Amino acid sequence: MPKFHIKRGDVVVVIAGAHRGKRGKVLEMLPEKRRARVEGVAMIKRHLKKSQEHPQGTIAEREGSIDISNLMPLARWEKTKAAQQAPEKQA
């Protein structure tokens, strides 16, 4: 299994793509696809068929996956933002 810069439970920031700037906790890693599920990011609608739990069927929202290259740990992201703003204050 490859080693990644994030792991399950980390708080991350989306740095690229349609969900850029959103933050969330990593719920699941999908190493074979190089993707991760992040809490509250990339929500998709899943159609569920009838069951005892849902007699009419339902449309459930759940997290989709995001490519790992588009995620950065929150601590590292804040450190880079602070470094970018520091030169502006000196000038």
Q: What is the pTM of this model?
A: 0.80
The model's confidence at residue 91, banded by pLDDT at 50, 70 and 90, is low
- Summarize the confidence of residues 24-41 as an average pLDDT: 96
Has residue 31 got a pLDDT over 70?
A: yes
Rounded distance between C-alpha atoms, residue 51 and residue 62, angstroms: 18
Q: What is the pLDDT of residue 89?
A: 63
Q: Which is nearest to 63 in space by CA: 32, 12, 88, 28?
A: 28
Q: What is the pLDDT of residue 82?
A: 83
| pLDDT, tens digit, 9 for 90 and up, residues 36-84 | 999 999 999 999 999 999 999 999 999 999 999 999 999 999 988 888 8
